[in-house]
């Protein structure tokens, strides 16, 4: 890169990488700050999208083009949109608006977070290696970023990533697919609404069981059985023991204290 | 049909077990038939045992026969089989157990049927009784120590259940507990002994088989190798401790008199004829081990002699007919152990056999008398067994009288009854082997034996008629015995061996039983002292002396309890201390009460206080501390997740600070 | 473009700067998780933290010339997607039980 010369004055331009990096990094950090401080959840989500985009820029700078694409597609395209959907789906009046913070937490969290941040920065910036090593430097015979030539010779970043993913990391990859499957099933089960009574009424007759979704028996289920079972020739008597139990009449009120007090109404204590 | 019965020796075990199981499951339905089923099956087992006995007789040189059923505990190198050993000793024990056992079963049918308690419990009785036979057979048939111990404990269990048969009587259930607990003390030693044997010989005798143990022990003995743990004397003393408990030897004899609270047939079978001889059997069975420990044998002899004297003296002053016989049993068991201790092995077993017959007979006879008293309307158990309420029974129950007389003569050691030969052999054996002291004391005990036996005979069957008037009327109105054939037939059946069994060992030390049992004690006799046997001069001399002593004893009894009946009263007036000591059984129960029971209570109380103050205090203190601190710490658990996250953050901060800012500088 | 130009876009930026951005974003996300009452925002802050870690992983991947870091990021993204799906489903079902997204009101497991 050259310098910008205005007349005699030559202003040395920073390297191109820095010109790209600094705005991206700054924007990412600003977006992060905005995200955690906006009162409206929708705004927070939008700022988060901003941060994700800037992170994607940095991924590209680091030669991870595929992951940059993944970042945009999965995070901003899928996850964040899911967030927005949920915020709106909930339809709560205060849902998106709930911008409150925990005052007590605020007092503790900011100092802790900031001190941690400062410490991490001190570690990163003043430890020898990360500071002295620049992306693109050549140490020994190797460039400190993957050898673009090599990567290109193998068909580019995507192909290299794919090759390692399907060979070296095959087993974790398969497990990850299982995790995704579980997440899909779990999300469906968790967010499913109970079917209306009519549906429940029909399903057992068809031999389909919806299973039991709560530990306690819902009144809906009781109703279904009450309606359905007589038709199938089964007598339905929920809690029969309780209902048919009659309090034994006590001939002698003196029986209190004579050993058995079952069914005897004890005088209420004052 | 060589060894036909030996190969079905399991049947001997199975039949009593079958009886027990049948009566256990169907006893309530069967009612009185339960007794006949048990009697029949036990008698059948007796017949098989006779076959076994004949087979053993026909085996050349008394070679032992082993019968493996299956491996019970396969555990690495340690392997215990359910396996039987049939040798002459086992055969003799089989005959005794099943012989007396069948007769007692027969007798029980009569004795228990007339029981006037609301819950007769006949089924229960005839479940336990065959079960006892089964356990006893396991004990004598086992070919290893562990299975023997199983039988050992099982007879203890059945003894417990039968002593406490009338469980609604507090004395009975107390006596049962006492028997069980005292036996535990002995068993503690027995178990330790078995464990020591296993520790020392496990490499060579992995299955605790007698033969393997003997071989291992002999090898070590011959090569003068020291044992890994303990020595032979300690092992033998521990084993003998078990025998002391089971066979009611001083100082663990206290349970046996109390055990008389059980039904009389039980006393006859378990607490006279068979179970209490288990200790004798065990010591005899392990004779090669004991021979290697002469010191232990000496202890056996001393304990035996002490017990013989002790039992005989206490028996002098007892007024309960069964208690007298019970102390007599203790005394006779003492004789057996004295015989074992001095090395007169065969004599001890011989005495075991004869004693089983005549002591069983004595108990059954007492049972008849008691039953007669019940029949005559005296239902109180103490009253009906008190000899001061008896007298002139000779005319009222003649069969009982004659058989009782036979048994008494046998017990007193009058020629030619069974006890004479065996007892003389023990006395003679100890004197001839140089144990003059033991022999002399046993001779004195023989005098006492004759005295207390004939005190019983004279007071109960002759003498002053102390039977209450109403009861006497019943007795005089009808012959009580006639109505109960089941009560006198067994008496006659037992009276026969009680009379003639002594000739098994005739001539002394050279009789048939000595030949028969000699293979079992081959090792012991090799290492023991050879004695002059048969009708040699010393033997005959001792025979004469002991007969004289017995006759003097009888004469003394005649004098004191028949001729001049005020003599005992004078005696007790002159020497109240001695009399009371005898009456109170040398204060053993008081001693144990003071030392063991009260001491144990005091110790337990102390420990309880310790537990309360120190242990509970510590536990409660810790719990209280936790609870107080928990109450304070609980406030941190707000359930507010972000608070927890903050704690994690603080932790991370602390870690980072320590690892990157403090550690590198320090 | 020649060979140099392909790498020139990244030249001159120290590795430390990427790491620093990662650290800053991580701490911001952390503060967000701790302080916000809206459970959705808490969730988003957690996503930000995860992205900060991703950035660090990729930066190290670049400096160490290893693909392992990038592969890790793939898995992290996978898990993040799964987590978002399940987490949001949980929030939905929780809101059905009790119509609030305030973390202080979500105390079903308490006491």
Q: What is the DSSP string of B286-344?
A: THHHHHT-HHHHHHHHHHHHHHHHHHHHHHHH--BHHHHHHHHHHHHHHHHHHHHHHT-
Residues facing B79 on adjacent strands: B74
* Contact between B653 and A108 using a beta-carbon 8 Å cutoff: no
Long-range CB pairs of B381-385 (<8 Å, 24+ gap) are B381/B169, B382/B320, B385/B320, B385/B321, B385/B322, B385/B323
**Residue A24 to residue A33: CA distance in whole angstroms:** 14
Residue B494, token pair as written in the block: 């037992």
**Predicted structure pTM score:** 0.60
**What is the pLDDT, as a whole number, of residue A146?**
54
Contact of B49 with B3, CB cutoff 8 Å: no
- CA dist., res. C27 & res. C38, Å (int): 19
Distance CA B371, CA B268 (A): 14
pLDDT in tens, B58-77: 887 777 888 888 888 877 77
Taking only residues 117 to 136 of chain A, the set having a beta carbon closer than 8 angstroms to any beta carbon of chain B reads 119-120, 123
Closest Cα partner for C102 from A79, B648, A94, A81? A94
Beta bridge partners of A101: C36
Partner residue opposite C51 with nearest CB, options A52, A117, A135? A52
CA distances from B106 to B34, B39, B92, B103, C84 (A): 12, 6, 21, 5, 88
Region B506-517 average pLDDT = 78
Mean pLDDT for all residues in chain A = 72
Pick from B646, B650, B663 the residue to mutate for testing the A interface (most A CBs within 10 Å): B646
CB B158 within 8 A of CB B131: yes
Q: Is C18 on the interface with A (CB under 8 A)?
A: yes
Give the SS3 label for residue C82.
helix
Window B:630-649, CB contacts with C under 8 Å: 639-642, 645-646, 649
Break chain A down into helix, strand, coil percent, rounded to 5.
Answer: 60, 5, 35
C-alpha span between B135 and B152 (Å, rounded): 7
Separation in Å, CA of A3 to nearest CA in chain C: 15
Q: Which C-chain residues 38-97 have CB contacts (< 8 A) with chain A?
A: 38, 40-41, 43-45, 47-48, 51, 54-55, 58-59, 61-63, 65, 67-68, 70-71, 73-75, 77-86, 88-93, 95-96
- Chain C positions touching chain B (beta carbons under 8 Å): 30, 33-35, 42, 103-104, 107, 109-111
State the CB neighbour count (10 A cutoff) for residue B380: 11
Region B224-248 average pLDDT: 84
Q: Which residues of B touch A119 (CB under 8 A)?
A: 653, 656-657, 660-661
- The pLDDT tens digits of the residues spanning C63-78 come to 777 788 889 999 999 9
Per DSSP, A270 falls in state -
In a mutagenesis test of the C interface, which of B642, B643, B656 is the best target, namely the one with the most C β-carbons within 10 Å?
Answer: B642
Cβ contact, residue pair B656, A113, below 8 Å: no
For residue A91, what pLDDT is reported? 66
Which of the pair, B542 or B572, is modelled with greater confidence? B542
Average pLDDT over residues B169-192: 88
Comparing B611 with A33, the larger pLDDT belongs to A33
Give me the phi and psi of B664, to 5 degrees please: -60, -35
Range with top average pLDDT, A7-21, A40-54, B196-210? A40-54
Interface test with C, best of A37, A55, A137, A174 (most C CBs within 10 A): A55
What percent of chain B clears pLDDT 90, i.e. is strictly above it? 4
Q: Which two tokens stand for residue B338?
A: 């004295």
Q: Least CA distance to B641: which residue of chain A?
A: A105
Top pLDDT among B46 and B590 is at: B46
Residues 6+ apart with CB under 8 A from B148: B138, B139, B142, B282, B285
Contact C25 A28 (CB under 8 A): yes
Helix (H) or strand (E) holding B86, with range, is strand B78-86
Interface test with B, best of C19, C28, C29, C30 (most B CBs within 10 A): C30
Using CA atoms, how far apart are residues C20 and C18, in angstroms rounded to an integer?
Answer: 5
Q: In Å, how far are B48, B274, B381, B420, B556 from B454, measured between CA atoms?
A: 38, 24, 23, 15, 9
CB atoms within 10 A of CB A121: 17
Asked whether the beta carbons of B151 and B137 are under 8 A apart, the reply is yes
The contact set of B with A (CB < 8 A) is 642-643, 646, 649-650, 652-653, 656-657, 660-661
**Rounded distance between C-alpha atoms, residue B253 and residue B312, angstroms:** 13
Residue B619 has pLDDT above 70, yes or no: yes
Minimum Cα–Cα distance from B641: chain C residue: C103
Cβ–Cβ below 8 Å for B642 and C34 = yes
Interface mutation vs chain B, best among A101, A103, A104, most B CBs within 10 Å = A104
pLDDT (0 to 100) of residue A34 = 92
Residue B20 has pLDDT above 70, yes or no: yes
B320-B325-B330 Cα angle (round to 5): 120
User: Contact A166/C71 with Cβ under 8 angstroms?
Assistant: no
Residue predicted with more confidence, B133 or B460? B133
Which of C30, C35, C103 is closest, CB to CB, to B641? C103
* Chain B touching partners, 3 or more CB pairs below 8 A: A, C
Q: Chain B residue closest to A105 (CA)?
A: B643
Residues A122-151 have pLDDT tens digits of 888 877 665 556 665 665 665 555 555 666
Low-confidence winner among A126-130, B194-198, B201-205 (lowest mean pLDDT): A126-130
Residue C107: per-residue pLDDT: 67
Interface B-C: count of C-beta contacts within 8 A:
17
Q: How many helices (H) and strands (E) would you count in chain A?
A: 12, 4
Q: Is B29 on the interface with C (CB under 8 A)?
A: no
Pair type for strands A9-12 and A3-6:
antiparallel
Residue B80 three-state SS: strand
C-beta atoms of B653 and A105 within 8 A: no
Strands B78-86 and B65-75: antiparallel
Report the C-alpha gap between B477 and B496 in whole angstroms: 30
| Cα–Cα–Cα angle for A183, A184, A188, rounded to 5 degrees | 110
Task: Look at phi and psi of residue B229 and say left if phi exceeds 0, alpha if psi is from -120 to 50, else beta.
Answer: beta
For residue B438 the two structure tokens come to 């033991």
Residues in C closer than 8 angstroms to A100, CB to CB, are 37-38, 102
Residue B214 has pLDDT above 50, yes or no: yes
| Chain B contact present for A109, CB below 8 A | yes
Neighbours, chain A (3 or more CB pairs < 8 A)? B, C
> In this predicted structure, what is the pLDDT of residue A51?
93
Q: How far is CA B134 from CA A27, A90, B139, B321, B364, in A?
A: 95, 81, 9, 29, 21
List the single range of A109-118, A121-130, A193-202, B190-199 with lowest mean pLDDT: A193-202
Please, are residues C19 and C86 in contact by the beta-carbon 8 Å criterion? no
- Secondary structure class of B81 (helix, strand, coil): strand
Question: Does the pLDDT at position A154 exceed 60?
Answer: yes
- pLDDT winner (highest mean) among A136-140, B199-203, B303-307: B303-307
Residues of C in contact with A146 (CB under 8 A): 62, 65, 67
CA B322 – CA B386 distance, rounded (Å): 9
**Among A93-97, B238-242, C12-16, C26-30, where is mean pLDDT lowest?**
A93-97
Residues of chain C in contact with residue A94, where contact means CB-CB under 8 angstroms, are 100-101
Where is pLDDT greater, at B91 or A207?
B91
Q: How far apart are CA B51 and CA B5, in angstroms?
A: 5
Specify burial of residue A9 (Cβ count, 10 A radius: 0-12, 13-18, 19+). exposed
The number of beta carbons lying within 10 Å of the beta carbon of residue A133 is 15
A179-230: pLDDT as tens digits: 999 999 988 888 777 666 666 666 666 666 555 444 445 555 566 656 665 5
Residue C5: what pLDDT?
32
Is the pLDDT at A173 greater than 70, yes or no? yes
Q: In the A/B pair of chains, how many CB contacts fall below 8 A? A: 26
Rg (chain B; Cα; Å): 30
Distance CA A87, CA A94 (A): 10
Q: What are the backbone angles phi and psi of residue B518, rounded to the nearest 5°? A: -55, -35
**Residues B346-365 pLDDT 10s:** 888 888 889 888 888 888 88
Alpha carbon separation from B653 to A125, A241, B636, B666, C33 (Å, rounded) = 18, 60, 19, 18, 16
Query: Do residues C86 and A186 touch, judged by C-beta distance below 8 A?
Result: yes
Token reading at B577: 């201390």
**Per-range mean pLDDT, top range of A1-5, A71-75, B213-217:** A71-75
Instruction: Report residue B610 as tokens.
Output: 């310790």
Nearest beta carbon to residue B646 from set C34, C103, C109: C34
pLDDT score, position C53? 94
CA dihedral B434, B437, B440, B441 (to 10 degrees): -140
Backbone φ and ψ for B86, nearest 5 degrees, come out as -115, 110
What is the Cα–Cα distance from B257 to B330, expressed in whole angstroms?
9
CA B71 to chain centroid, in Å, comes to: 28
Are C36 and A36 inside 8 Å of each other by CB? yes
- Please compute the mean of the pLDDT values over residues B463-469 and round it to a whole number: 75
Decide if pLDDT at B219 tops 50.
Answer: yes
Determine the average pLDDT of the residues in B532-542: 69
Q: What is the mean pLDDT of chain B?
A: 83
Judge contact between A165 and C74, C-beta under 8 A.
yes
Chains in contact with chain C (at least 3 beta-carbon pairs closer than 8 A) = A, B
Which two structure tokens, joined as six digits, stand for A229? 């079972």
């Amino acid at each position: 890169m050259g310098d910008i010369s205005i007349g005699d004055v030559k202003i040395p331009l920073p390297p191109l990488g820095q010109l790209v990096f600094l705005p991206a990094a700054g924007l990412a950090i600003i977006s992060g700050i905005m995200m955690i401080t906006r009162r409206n959840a929708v705004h927070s989500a939008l700022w988060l999208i901003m941060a994700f985009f800037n992170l994607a820029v940095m991924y590209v700078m680091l030669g991870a083009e595929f992951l940059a694409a993944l970042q945009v597609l999965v995070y901003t395209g899928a996850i964040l949109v899911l967030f927005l959907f949920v915020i709106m789906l909930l339809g709560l009046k205060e849902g998106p608006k709930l911008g409150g913070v925990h005052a007590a937490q605020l007092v503790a969290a900011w100092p802790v977070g900031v001190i941690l941040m400062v410490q991490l920065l001190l570690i990163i910036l003043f430890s020898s290696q990360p500071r002295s090593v620049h992306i693109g430097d050549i140490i020994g015979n190797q460039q400190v970023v993957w050898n673009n030539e090599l990567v290109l010779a193998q068909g580019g970043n995507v192909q290299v990533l794919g090759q390692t993913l399907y060979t070296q990391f095959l087993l974790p990859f398969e497990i990850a697919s299982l995790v995704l499957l579980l997440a899909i099933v779990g999300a469906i089960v968790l967010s499913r609404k109970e079917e209306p009574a009519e549906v429940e009424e029909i399903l057992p007759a068809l031999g389909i069981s919806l299973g039991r979704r709560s530990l306690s028996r819902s009144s809906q289920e009781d109703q279904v059985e009450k309606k359905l079972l007589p038709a199938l020739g089964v007598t339905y008597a929920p809690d029969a023991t309780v209902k048919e139990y009659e309090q034994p009449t006590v001939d002698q009120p003196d029986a209190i204290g004579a050993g058995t007090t079952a069914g005897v109404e004890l005088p209420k204590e004052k | 049909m060589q060894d036909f019965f030996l190969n079905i020796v399991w049947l001997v075990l199975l039949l009593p077990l079958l009886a027990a199981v049948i009566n256990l499951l169907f006893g309530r339905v069967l009612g009185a038939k339960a007794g006949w089923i048990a009697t029949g099956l036990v008698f059948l087992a007796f017949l098989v045992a006779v076959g076994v006995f004949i087979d053993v007789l026909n085996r050349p040189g008394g070679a032992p026969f082993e019968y493996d059923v299956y491996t019970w505990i396969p555990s690495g190198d340690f392997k215990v089989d359910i396996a039987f050993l049939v040798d002459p000793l086992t055969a003799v024990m089989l005959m005794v157990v099943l012989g007396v056992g069948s007769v007692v079963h027969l007798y029980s049918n009569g004795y228990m049927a007339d029981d006037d308690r609301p819950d007769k419990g006949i089924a229960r009785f005839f479940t336990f009784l065959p079960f006892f036979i089964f356990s006893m057979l396991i004990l004598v048939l086992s070919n290893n120590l562990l299975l023997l111990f199983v039988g050992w404990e099982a007879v203890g269990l059945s003894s417990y259940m039968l002593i406490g048969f009338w469980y609604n009587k507090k004395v009975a259930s107390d006596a049962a507990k006492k028997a069980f607990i005292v036996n535990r003390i002995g068993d503690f030693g027995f178990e330790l002994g078995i464990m020591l044997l296993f520790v020392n010989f496990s490499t060579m005798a992995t299955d605790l088989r007698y033969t393997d143990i003997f071989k291992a022990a002999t090898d070590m003995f011959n090569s003068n190798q020291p044992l890994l743990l303990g020595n032979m004397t300690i092992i033998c003393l521990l084993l003998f401790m078990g025998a002391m408990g089971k066979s009611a030897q001083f100082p663990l004899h206290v349970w046996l008199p109390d055990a008389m609270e059980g039904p009389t047939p039980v006393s006859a079978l378990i607490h006279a004829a068979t179970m209490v001889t288990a200790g004798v059997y065990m010591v005899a069975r392990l004779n090669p081990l004991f021979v290697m420990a002469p010191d232990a044998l000496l202890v056996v002899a001393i304990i035996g002699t002490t017990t013989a004297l002790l039992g005989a003296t206490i028996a002098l002053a007892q007024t309960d007919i069964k208690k007298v016989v019970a102390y007599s049993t203790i005394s006779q068991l003492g004789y057996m152990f004295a015989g074992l201790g001095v090395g007169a092995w065969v004599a001890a077993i011989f005495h075991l056999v004869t004693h089983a017959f005549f002591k069983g007979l004595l108990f059954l006879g007492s049972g008849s008398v008691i039953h007669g008293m019940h029949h005559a309307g005296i239902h109180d158990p103490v009253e009906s067994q008190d000899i001061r309420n008896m007298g002139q029974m000779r005319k009222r129950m003649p069969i009982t009288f004659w058989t009782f007389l036979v048994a008494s003569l046998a017990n007193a050691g009058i020629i030619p009854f069974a006890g004479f030969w065996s007892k003389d052999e023990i006395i003679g054996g100890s004197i001839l082997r140089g144990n003059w002291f033991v022999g002399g004391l046993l001779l004195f005990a023989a005098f006492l034996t004759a005295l207390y036996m004939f005190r019983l005979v004279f007071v109960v069957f002759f003498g002053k008629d102390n039977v209450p008037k109403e009861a006497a009327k019943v007795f005089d109105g009808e012959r009580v015995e006639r109505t109960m054939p089941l009560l006198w037939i067994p008496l006659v059946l037992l009276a026969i061996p009680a009379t003639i069994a002594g000739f098994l060992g005739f001539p002394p030390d050279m009789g048939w039983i000595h030949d028969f049992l000699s293979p079992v004690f081959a090792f012991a006799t090799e290492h023991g002292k050879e004695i002059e046997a048969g009708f040699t001069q010393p033997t005959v001399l001792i025979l004469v002396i002991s007969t004289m002593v017995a006759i003097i004893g009888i004469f003394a009894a005649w004098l004191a309890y028949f001729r001049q009946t005020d003599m005992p009263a004078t005696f007790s007036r002159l020497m109240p201390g001695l009399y009371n000591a005898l009456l109170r059984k040398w204060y053993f129960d008081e001693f144990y009460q003071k030392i063991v029971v009260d001491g144990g209570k005091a110790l337990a109380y102390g420990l309880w206080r310790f537990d309360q103050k120190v242990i509970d205090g510590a536990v409660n203190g810790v719990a209280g501390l936790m609870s107080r601190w928990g109450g304070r710490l609980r406030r941190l658990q707000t359930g507010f997740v972000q608070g927890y996250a903050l704690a994690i953050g603080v932790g991370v901060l602390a870690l980072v600070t320590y690892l990157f800012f403090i550690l590198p500088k320090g | 473009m020649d060979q140099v130009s392909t790498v020139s876009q990244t030249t001159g930026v120290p590795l430390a700067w990427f790491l620093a951005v990662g650290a800053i974003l991580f701490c911001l996300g952390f503060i967000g998780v701790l302080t916000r009452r809206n459970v959705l925002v808490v969730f988003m802050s957690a996503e930000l933290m995860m992205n900060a870690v991703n950035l660090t992983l990729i930066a190290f991947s670049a400096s160490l010339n290893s693909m392992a870091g990038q592969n890790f990021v793939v898995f992290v993204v996978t898990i993040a997607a799964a987590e978002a799906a399940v987490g949001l489903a949980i929030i939905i079902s929780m809101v059905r039980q009790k119509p609030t997204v305030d973390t202080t009101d979500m105390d079903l497991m308490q006491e």
